[in-house]
Amino acid sequence: MPLPRYKQINTDITPYYHCTSRCVRQSFLCGKDVKTGINYEHRRKWFTDRLHKLTQAFAIDLCAYAVMHNHIHVVLHIAKGRAEGWSMDEVFLRWRMFYKCPPVVRFYLENRALEKEGSASNSQACSEAELNELKALSVQYRERLQSVSWFMRLLNEYIARRANKEDDCKGYFWERRFRSQAILDEKALAAVMAYVDLNPIRASIATSLNNSKYTSIHYRLNAHKARKHPKYLMLFKDQAPNVKDCKDKSPSALSLNNTAHLSFNFHDYKELLCATLTAKQTKTNSEPPRFPTRLLSTLGLEQKKWHIITSRFEMLFSGPVGEPDNMTTFAEKCNRGTRPNVKNAIQYLS
């Protein structure tokens, strides 16, 4: 029986989660069906466009993603506390990007728009009961806008409805509810991001990082070539804005600028990915190229272990991923009776 979500997600312990969804009966999400000749490749853009819209609205950062033929991968960072800095108006406007709000919310937003336009005389004040209802709704929407479950629901439901409409069919599109893995430390985070970014190459959909389309690494490389930062992805440490350059000097803004980025550098990560790919593509019996040592030494991982983890991440770990002590802490805090795959964590991550 599947574990309840509260035993899989605990933002007090870690903000990082690896989520996957797979199509029912191995149906095609994207790619070309050889048997029927139907090409579903255009659906990849549905996915990336939806992801970008979700990251604009939610207090959730996108660390990595890959759109495969019959499944998807995303690595998410829950920016806990970011949503607390939003005003009630901002919460409603963000939620309105996906759902038609109740009449009381629409009435409130219309009045607020009139006030901003200088037409306060045409606006009507809300009653006390309406204000109480608005406050209750804002609390509910605020919680949802920092929820992994709601993020994945709005992603998967949109893709499923659109695909079923195109196929002129009804019923389930996704195999089951999305699967989530808590990522408990830097080692696990770097490994799962590399695993996701290299997935299309491992599946022979692409041959290099540069032609691995509809992945986060492809998006990051294109942004880097244009001398820009990826707008919809969480930045690396060397890409994060300097506090001195931040125009907003409020404590909340400074806090976000200090913490809302990955803990390692993009250059080191890209170099490590390239070396990992080169080693995997080496077919001779000679010694594979040595990996860059900067990021691996920072993480405290050996080359051989890194190679195995990034090739077989989901085979090695079915639940929370991290060092054994972190897995123990997570199990205790989430009232989990077991630590799945802890032996693999001892062997590869400790």
Could you report the per-residue pLDDT of 44-94, keeping only the tens digit for each? 999 999 999 999 999 999 999 999 988 999 999 999 889 999 999 999 999
**Where residue 3 falls among pLDDT bands split at 50, 70, 90?**
confident
Among the residue ranges 118-127, 160-169, 245-254, the one predicted with the least confidence is 245-254
Does the pLDDT value for residue 249 go beyond 60? no
Asked whether 73 and 212 are in contact (CB, 8 A), the reply is no
- How does the average pLDDT of the chain come out, rounded? 87
Does the pLDDT value for residue 115 go beyond 90? no
More confident residue, 302 or 116: 302
The pTM assigned to this predicted structure is 0.89
Asked whether 322 and 349 are in contact (CB, 8 A), the reply is yes
Is the sign of the CA dihedral 106, 108, 113, 117 positive or negative? positive
**Where residue 250 falls among pLDDT bands split at 50, 70, 90?**
very low
φ/ψ of 258, rounded to 5, equals: -85, -30
Asked whether 101 and 95 are in contact (CB, 8 A), the reply is yes
SS3 77: strand
Asked whether 39 and 32 are in contact (CB, 8 A), the reply is yes
For residue range 330-347, what is the model confidence (pLDDT) as tens digits? 999 998 888 889 999 999
The helix, strand and coil proportions of the chain, stated in percent and rounded to the nearest 5, come to 50, 10, 40
- Beta bridge pairs of residue 64: 75
Average pLDDT over residues 201-218: 92
What pLDDT does residue 222 have?
95
Asked whether 62 and 260 are in contact (CB, 8 A), the reply is no
What pLDDT does residue 82 have?
92
Asked whether 323 and 339 are in contact (CB, 8 A), the reply is no
